[in-house]
Structure 1
Amino acid sequence: MSTRQLDPGPRPVDDDQVRRLIAGQFPQWAGLAVERFPSAGTVNAIFRLGDGMLVRLPLAAGGVGDVTTEREWLPRLAAALPTAVPEVLGAGEPGEGYPWPWSVYRWLPGENPEAGALSEPVRLAEDLAGFVTAMRGLALPGAPRAHRGGPVASLEAETRAAIEELRGIPEEDVDCDAVAAVWAQTLRAPGWTGPPVWLHADLMPGNLLVRDGRLSSVIDFGCAGVGDPACDLFPAWNLLPAPARAVFRAALGVDEATWVRGRGRTLSQALIALPYYRRTNRAMAENARHVIRAVLAEV
């Protein structure tokens, strides 16, 4: 459910193809109901398998690395985290005309939270801070580099290009001078000089599950690895209202430079996503607009 842009022309996958893959590779589950699960995610197709499982298949070659990352690291991460994470039940291989590895997971109940419609925003902020703290405290050897986690300056060219693209879309009504100023402030902030820390690196609302307003699960660890701790501050602006945002920051003890980098990274992702998804993915585009508003209201 990442906002990473895919190769042109995602590969179509349908219920019947998934049934054949399951029957051929996991005959113990043949005959269980298979149904496409609606999702705003852009990297994988998701199908319910019976009542207690799901099948997740990359839509393009760019998502294959997520499959191998999760197979290797989720079993090691699960025991150390305070929140439920996906459990891989089956490692599928190419077949039936489908060209990439795929996985079967245990189903995790819950709903994606929606910015502006949280029932327990402060408690959710505390839960998110607890998850991020636990990730940062991991000391698992051989960690990969997080998909996001390098220097902020590595985002400069793509972020500037997105700002200029948005200048040409007046109906989006983005104050491009204001967001450019926030981005410039981000580039001036001191970089992270400590050791790299473990990150989920894609804490979008679509990768969070809540029950009764509380965080119940965190999913999609395809971007996980080590890097700048600012990368896991995304929920401060893509989900939490200002009072809960302050609780999140205080619980994590975030210094000013890291906060500025986190805000800028979240803004960069939104600026890039909005022109890309504005006509093709309503949920991604709406969250990008929310982030831009939240960031500009804070500075």
Structure 2
Amino acid sequence: MQEQFPEWSGKAIRPLSSAGTVNAIFRIGENLAARFPLRLTDASEALAVLEQEVRASAELARVSRFPVPEPVALGKPGAGYPMPWSVQTWLPGTVAADADPSGSDAFAEGLAAFIATLRDADTRGRLFSGGNRGGVLAHHDDWMATCFEESEGLLDVPRLREVWRHFRELPRTGADVMSHGDLIPGNVLVTGGRLSGVLDTGGFGPADPALDLVSAWHLLRRGPRDVLRQALACDDLEWERGKAWAFEQAMGAAWYYAESNPTMSAMGRRTLDRILDSMD
């Protein structure tokens, strides 16, 4: 830090505990945060990813009605750390994983307003890139098969297989819209029971309009969930597809992080419970 950014050398540096799985976070003074990738990969490839995330984060910051981190700098490998890393602005608030705004209508209204703003942003002709969630549900069959196999003894796999057979057949009708892509409790900030900021914005890009509806299942109970749906005027198909993307994400989180990250695993299981309850 001192070698690359001497202007921050007098600021206190504090590691932050987090249930995140991609970056270790360090707070720099009061207004900045450094993000260090946890997975070692080729440094040049990692830099390309960070540069794309910087562009996406800056674009989202220009359209968001709510505070989001803004890119500040990119750090180079050094001082025993072999990867590039990033610095962004720090946002106050408590992550929803700790604050639990699931019963707040006001939080649901803010979340809907955030999603609506992203949907209104210009895609500039861009389409879903083909990576991760947000394209064709059935393209995730192989991953889901792995999830079902790994979840034996942990979850009600026969029932969950039936649910996926329904979800994977849901047709796609809406054109791509701009989406956050990962609206889980660890990426949303809460103050006073209301949405006060959104983190991890580097995945901002075009995707299925239903993708950001995963937040309805990861973050909200039944009443506030209905508030979000009404605010976004979701029809039955879009709502079901949002449920399907949440299901796909939750299935992976439940078993994959069962030992390494209990918070993420618990989120997955809670989301699955909410989805199954809605289908009874």
- TM-score normalised according to structure 1 size: 0.85
The aligned counterpart of 2:192 is: 212
- Kindly indicate whether residue 253 of structure 2 is the aligned counterpart of residue 270 of structure 1: no
Q: Does structure 2 conserve the Cα–Cα contact (< 8 Å) formed by 1:66 and 1:223?
A: no
Distance of aligned partners of 1:228 and 1:115 in 2 relative to their CA distance in 1, 3 Å threshold: farther
Give the deviation of 1:283 after TM superposition.
Answer: 0.8
- Higher mean alpha-carbon deviation, 57-66 vs 275-284, is at 57-66
Distance of aligned partners of 1:238 and 1:63 in 2 relative to their CA distance in 1, 3 Å threshold: farther
Identity of aligned residues (%): 38
Q: Does structure 2 conserve the Cα–Cα contact (< 8 Å) formed by 1:43 and 1:63?
A: no
Q: 2:260 aligns with which of 259, 280, 284?
A: 280
Distance of aligned partners of 1:273 and 1:64 in 2 relative to their CA distance in 1, 3 Å threshold: farther
The aligned counterpart of 1:154 is: 139
Counterpart-to-counterpart distance in 1, 2:19 and 2:221: 22
Q: Does structure 2 conserve the Cα–Cα contact (< 8 Å) formed by 1:116 and 1:241?
A: no
Partner deviation per Cα, 1:96-119 (whole Å, 9 max, x = no partner): 232322111111000011489427
Distance of aligned partners of 1:25 and 1:144 in 2 relative to their CA distance in 1, 3 Å threshold: farther
Q: Map 1:82-121 to 2 at 5 A.
A: 82-114=65-97, 117-118=100-101, 121=104
Distance of aligned partners of 1:127 and 1:287 in 2 relative to their CA distance in 1, 3 Å threshold: same
Q: Does structure 1 conserve the Cα–Cα contact (< 8 Å) formed by 2:258 and 2:265?
A: yes
- TM-score normalised according to structure 2 size: 0.91
Q: In structure 2, what residue type is equivalent to 1:139?
A: D
- Kindly indicate whether residue 165 of structure 2 is the aligned counterpart of residue 178 of structure 1: no
Q: Does structure 1 conserve the Cα–Cα contact (< 8 Å) formed by 2:99 and 2:190?
A: no
- Kindly indicate whether residue 107 of structure 2 is the aligned counterpart of residue 124 of structure 1: yes
Give the deviation of 1:63 after TM superposition.
Answer: 6.3
The aligned counterpart of 1:257 is: 237
The aligned counterpart of 1:17 is: none
Distance of aligned partners of 1:287 and 1:181 in 2 relative to their CA distance in 1, 3 Å threshold: same
Q: Does structure 2 conserve the Cα–Cα contact (< 8 Å) formed by 1:83 and 1:216?
A: yes
Give the deviation of 1:143 after TM superposition.
Answer: 4.5
- Kindly indicate whether residue 219 of structure 2 is the aligned counterpart of residue 239 of structure 1: yes
- Higher mean alpha-carbon deviation, 155-164 vs 112-121, is at 112-121
The aligned counterpart of 1:25 is: 4
SS in structure 2 of the partner of residue 234 of structure 1: helix
Aligned residues between the structures: 273
SS in structure 2 of the partner of residue 229 of structure 1: coil
Q: Which runs of 5+ in 2 are unaligned?
A: none
Q: Does structure 1 conserve the Cα–Cα contact (< 8 Å) formed by 2:31 and 2:89?
A: yes
Counterpart-to-counterpart distance in 2, 1:104 and 1:221: 13
Give the deviation of 1:75 after TM superposition.
Answer: 2.3
Aligned-CA RMSD value:
2.0
The aligned counterpart of 1:15 is: none
Counterpart-to-counterpart distance in 1, 2:64 and 2:225: 22
